[in-house]
Chain A
Amino acid sequence: MKTRIPGMPGPAAHILCVIACLALTVLLTLTGIAFPAVRLLTDQALHLSVAQQDAVVDAQYARIGEKVDALSQQYPFEPKTAMDFITRDSLLDFNAQVVRWWMGFLQADPALNAPGYEISGLLDAVKADETFRAGVPQTSWTATARDKVVKNVEDIVTQTVAPLRLSLISLAVASLLSKVDAPALAGYLPYVPWALLAVCLLLMGLMALLTHKRMGKGLLYIGAACGASGLCLGALLGVTAWLNLPGYLAASWPLLAMQLRLLLQGLALPTGLTALALLVLGLALIGVHQHQMNRLRQSVAEGNSYGA
């Protein structure tokens, strides 16, 4: 026989709780997405840590070496002459310069001129290079060294670090910034996830208020929403992994794919942990509800007035 338990929330409270639970699931999922998204848009340290990783800089250096070798076949010069000017430290600095450039788009008075890698002293070094002197007529040493070698080596470094049409991006951003007040919007960005979290807490409070007669029921709904948002975030991470965007880019832009993979890994770990924490919290709250209700049913069946 079914045991009737007194002091339960009415059907209206249950219906409202179900609606609030669905809203809470959506909002908690959005909050879980908003934190990494805002970090992606505003955390310069994250981008610097990816751009300046040893593996990335080593791969860039190797790629630059290959391209400089190919260039030295076209215009005779010793590749070592150029490579002596491209140091690991200068690559680290240029990576940081590119990151600061594009992260600065959302700040007031952004530097819209695209960054370029400049090598001072290479022109003289190329002109003094024995292979270059032997292979190029003396009358065109300066012009060939400046326009064909130094310019190309600088372009090689710039395009290896940022294989993007930087000038085009600068133009597009300048046009966009004339229409949108990006710095003002960017100022609000860090508050968005916290505002979402505050709304989630408000909704949880509302559900607790609706089920004040039996708080265990409120925990059931809050737990269900937490667990559901944990599942949604997990599914989102799964879909992102399945889409394999770095793999899509790897064929044509291996260095960019490597950086994107590192960036996604950096964001996926905290998001995955958040999803797991939400799922565990949700199941724990449901467990508390189950435990409380069992105790309640037991005491009611025994004829006590426990908790009623």
Chain B
Amino acid sequence: MKKVKTVRRPLYWLLPLLFALPLLAGGAYAAYCYVPKIKPLLEVALKVVLIP
């Protein structure tokens, strides 16, 4: 019987990574922009709300 060679397309396995990357990049960019702004506010809030 003649064996037929099939195309495997292994890159399909990387599709989850491909679709996750834009989201992760967006999240990382948002963190890069906003975390430095939020951090001092958080520190002040902690000092106001928590009793040392």
Contact = CB atoms under 8 A, between A and B. Distances in A.
A186 B52 CA distance: 31
B7 A228 contact: no
A291 B10 CA distance: 12
A231 B49 CA distance: 35
Interface string B1-31: 0001011110011011111101110010001
A165 B20 contact: no
A282 interface: yes
B46 to A, nearest CB: 8
A90 interface: no
B23 A252 contact: no
Main secondary structure of the interface of A (DSSP, over half): helix
A178 B52 CA distance: 30
Size bracket, chain B contacts: 20 to 34
Contact of A290 (B8, B31, B46, B50): B8
Contacts of B7: 2-3, 294, 297
A231 B12 contact: no
A2 to B, nearest CB: 8
A168 B48 contact: yes
Contacts of B52: 252-253
B44 interface: no
A210 B31 CA distance: 35
Nearest to A252: B52
A286 B15 contact: yes
B3 to A, nearest CB: 9
A286 B12 contact: yes
A150 interface: no
Interface stretch (A19-27, A69-77, A136-144): A19-27
Contact of A22 (B4, B19, B24, B48): B19
B33 interface: no
A224 B18 contact: yes
Contacts of B24: 231-232, 235
B16 A227 contact: yes
A168 B46 CA distance: 12
B51 interface: yes
A230 B24 CA distance: 12
Nearest to B16: A227
Interface centre among B8, B15, B31, B48 (most CB of A within 10 A): B15
6 contacts: A163-B50, A164-B50, A168-B48, A224-B18, A232-B23, A297-B6
Given A165-B50, A227-B17, 14 more contacts: A163-B50, A164-B50, A224-B15, A226-B16, A228-B16, A229-B20, A232-B23, A235-B27, A253-B50, A279-B16, A286-B12, A298-B4, A298-B6, A301-B4
